[in-house]
Structure 1
Amino acid sequence: MCRNIHQLHNFEPPATRDEIQAAALQYVRKVAGSTRPSAANQEAFDRAVAAIAAATAELLDELVTSAAPKNREVEAAKARARAEKRYAS
């Protein structure tokens, strides 16, 4: 999985359209192997991002869980602590 794509399910507040779009863009960039497509490939690239964003939004709408929603700030703090420990010199 792309390291830049973050978990979007079961957060309070729920994932925004911008977060879903960013995840779709990162996925397409990874699969395509480039961050900026050529002019000849731009339309296909944009269609793929839109399709993946739509599928992701549908998936998130349909997923169910009995777990309590995670707090974004708490999870971000945990990630920062892990990064500090990992990259400490």
Structure 2
Amino acid sequence: MCRNIHQLHNFQPPATAEEVHAAALQYVRKVAGAARPSQANRAVFDAAVAAVAAATQQLLDGLVTSAPPKDREVEAAKARARAEKRYA
């Protein structure tokens, strides 16, 4: 799957609407095979992004876990360390 889509569940603070929308946009772009739709496809592209974002938010709202929430800063630091090691 697309590397730009990040885990959104079980973080403190919870994922924002902007993060959910960004993930939905990346997913639809990947599936459609286009970063920007043509004028003819704009309406269906935007509707798909809205539908995926709504489904994603519903999923996040319904998920239950007993694990403690992850800290965004700690996870970001881990990702940077992995990137440094991968691209060094």
TM-score, L = length of structure 1: 0.98
Aligned length, in residue pairs? 88
- % same residue: 80
User: Which stretches of structure 1, 4 residues or more, deviate above 4 A after TM superposition?
Assistant: none
Aligned to 2:51: 51
Name the structure with the higher helix share: 2
- How many angstroms apart in 2 are the aligned matches of 1:67 and 1:31? 32
TM-score, L = length of structure 2: 0.99
Aligned to 1:7: 7
- 1:56 corresponds to which letter in structure 2? T
- 2:77 corresponds to which letter in structure 1? A
Q: How does 1:1-89 map to 2 (within 5 A)?
A: 1-88=1-88
- Please give the per-residue CA displacement for 1:11-64, whole angstroms capped at 9, x wherever unaligned: 000000000000000000000000000000000000000000000000000000
